[in-house]
Structure 1
């Protein structure tokens, strides 16, 4: 089965076209090699799927006949993604919330003072070294 079709059948992508685009962008690796969408996959192949800034590591157990229900996905793949990948994504989410949203205008006086304090602290630590 083609890699794009496999990823669509096992519900990693909502459409087959999205799976194809991910392959073309180099977000899919089979046995540590970037692959084209037409690459055939077989049981025991190792996949790395980069989606939402998380590298999912999968092992193919079996090839489905067609798209499967969400409850049956674990029959066809084994997810070996380390827990640290999900924790890292959670930290990224929190760090993005701290910064100002794009398009909110110029920094306020308080924002400018915070920036100046941060830069002054950084400058003083470099000066003492």
Structure 2
């Protein structure tokens, strides 16, 4: 049993050693004393956004705030700044602990900031409407009407959506022009 316990104790230490080595490499690649890092580059480096261009677009769109103020992509972020990012329907609130320029792995990235974000909304709250079983083919007219009713788009027969007999006539009724689309049956 002692051999097993020592083997399991060594495994977390090895993982921590790898993370520590990665942190050291990230700090070495980071800015030297007195230099700064662009906000779009930093939020990409710590994996808050997938690409740097998405980070720059978020800054230009006013979705990134540093210490409560909207910032441009070239804003120089410093240690201790509070960064608020609205991305993919969620707000992330982080405090900068470390400045890095290059993208790092997730275990290293979480050590570069303090996450004060509210928890994400549960997945069950978003109901998927209109999902059909695979292989059932195209929806019929009845299926489409049912999906519209579930989504709240259609008003039903005789409503503003044009459904019902009053707007469309009965299936066997003929057009007063003789059914040819010409006036007076000509």
Structure 2 residue 74 is the aligned partner of structure 1 residue 38: yes
Aligned to 2:39: 3
Change (3 A) 1:67 1:26: same
Tell me whether 106-115 or 53-62 shows the greater mean CA deviation.
106-115
Q: Distance in 2 between matches of 1:11 and 1:67?
A: 7
Displaced runs of 4 or more, over 4 A:
104-107, 109-117
Aligned to 1:63: 99
Structure-to-structure mapping, 1:73-112, within 5 angstroms:
73-83=109-119, 86-87=120-121, 90=123, 94-95=126-127, 97-98=128-129, 100=130, 107-108=144-145, 112=149
Q: How big is the shift at 1:2?
A: 0.6
**Which one has more relative contact order, counting CA pairs under 8 Å at least 6 apart?**
1
Q: Gaps (5+ residues) in structure 2?
A: 1-36, 132-138, 157-186
Q: How big is the shift at 1:110?
A: 8.5
Q: Distance in 1 between matches of 2:54 and 2:102?
A: 17
User: Over aligned residue pairs, what C-alpha RMSD do you find?
Assistant: 2.9
Give the number of aligned pairs: 109
Q: Distance in 1 between matches of 2:150 and 2:97?
A: 56
Q: Give TM-score, length-normalised by structure 1.
A: 0.70
Q: How big is the shift at 1:54?
A: 0.4
2:42 touches 2:101 (CA, 8 Å); kept in 1?
Answer: no
Q: Secondary structure at the match of 2:86?
A: strand
Q: Gaps (5+ residues) in structure 1?
A: 118-129
Q: Give TM-score, length-normalised by structure 2.
A: 0.50
